[in-house]
Structure 1
């Protein structure tokens, strides 16, 4: 089985495609291979020409599935599917083209699309994380984001939340890390607080790639700022109890709505005490989608 992923180069989109590929790899009885092809290497003219030859030189093996994430990939995925008609086309988001042009669409529930035989509705975007069952009791991870087009960072509000987390979990080992969006001056302010003595602080610039996901596997509970939606779902997938640190919102949309939805469902909490967070449940959206695709 060969999967071709039409890539727009965005890390978050690649994470979704890898998540589904790895889930299919875990479940399939046959070998599953994965090839990423950039949209830059798939000019529309080349794809149209391939409609007549029914092959593309960039493709290593005849594809069984063609994945696309990101609106710029959708037309190419459709053309790709016309070149290799036996392949199943899968868009991992709400398609920008009619649903009928693709075999399957995997869409987060906050987009408000009704599930069907061709539409799989998921809780959040897919990711490649699995629960390795290595969580250590009393170990906490705090993951900070920053300002975005939907959120405005507020030092005082975030500091207050961190202070409450330290106060409500006095015996815990608490690891805190930042992201590229966290204001540079924030750590200086944080380190001046008395409660910072309870924290082990790892700025993102000092952590290797993949470090935070390894920390999730060890943490019993993870607190994530509300702007980092993908990380909230990654922590859930890792099998952690998850708390949300509120960040000021500049606007409400389907992404902020997705956080509100999982708060309403009780999957995550605004509590600052680990004992009051929801106990983790089996959160395996990529595996669920893989099972569906492989049985069709």
Structure 2
């Protein structure tokens, strides 16, 4: 939960930044803002109004990218949610390595933003965006919002959006989310005769049981022949699994490889699938399916041990948001979320109410 933030300039840099101040200027000079920090958010995005916030016009949003698709999906999800709630101009800014970002921060410059309007919000996901977030804010102002657990102290940023399964607490500038944010939108067009099966692969947190996974997929297809099924792999899917999934195509079953997916394919499929099954290792796709409002089932994969990803999946199971394959075999059926699972929309609303209230005087 975020309580009102201090109005003094941020002064908690890591040692290498504190030591790098030119001419003995200290960390406070290095990280001095161009905007008043103002109050923070609490868990509901409420609290006393920040009277320095403007109350109309188009928001200028800078979205910083480290080039990693998963990170871009998170920041894009928040940017689009903000745009659905308020007129906004979105600017996508690819970043170089951290060395150049640090040089920009020390010099008070941010070349990627040259020619763009000053930002109201600066978004970045992943460690490769952290120094750039600080550099952009120092050079041009705005609020720096970091998605995922930051590698630098949370007090350096205006807001940190961290999945609750990371177990991070104790910062006044922290807002927890149910899983990573994503750009999916809730849909009312789910068709009961359409099914989607999303297959991941081995990861740091999960091993891979190809025979077990394929057995679950075959059982789903055999026991629900009235449905039109789409099977889809991912970048992590082993070649042998991919090839064997492709052999299941035929009749009402089709296979879609990630290698030739058109842009927006997953969003369009999740918007209409009445039933979505996701392998347990693919946490991001689980949250995307739930955000789309789909009835979601869980294909079992062998965990390597306790992990934050597994904790997130366990939380979804405890809340009854996903149906494990074993329970489906026993007669349970996946159900859509009872309430909209729109974390990007919830966070966007909290940000706007706090920093850009439309009724501010």
Settle same-fold status: TM greater than 0.5: yes
Structure exhibiting the larger radius of gyration computed from Cα positions: 2
C-alpha deviation, 1:198, in angstroms: 5.4
Equivalent residue number for residue 247 of structure 1: 301
What are the within-5 Å matches in structure 2 for residues 193-232 of structure 1? 199-232=253-286
Corresponding residue SS for 1:32: strand
What are the within-5 Å matches in structure 2 for residues 22-171 of structure 1? 22-28=80-86, 30-40=87-97, 43-50=101-108, 56=111, 58-59=113-114, 60-85=116-141, 87-114=142-169, 118-171=173-226
C-alpha distance in 2 between matches for 1:210 and 1:191? 21
Corresponding residue SS for 1:149: coil
Alpha-carbon contact 1:107-1:113 (below 8 Å) kept: yes
- The C-alpha deviation readout for 1:121-176, integer Å capped at 9, x for no partner, is 11110111102322111211001111122222212111221122123323211111
Question: What is the aligned length?
Answer: 290
For structure 2, the residue ranges without an aligned partner over 5 or more in a row are 1-58, 355-361
RMSD: 2.4
| TM-score (norm: length of structure 1) | 0.89
**Counterpart selection for 1:277 from 316, 328, 334:** 334
Alpha-carbon contact 1:152-1:250 (below 8 Å) kept: yes
Alpha-carbon contact 2:194-2:227 (below 8 Å) kept: yes
Corresponding residue SS for 1:255: helix
Equivalent residue number for residue 21 of structure 1: 79
Report which stretch shifted further, 95-104 or 107-116: 107-116
Corresponding residue SS for 1:107: strand
Equivalent residue number for residue 259 of structure 1: 313
| TM-score (norm: length of structure 2) | 0.74
Alpha-carbon contact 1:39-1:73 (below 8 Å) kept: no
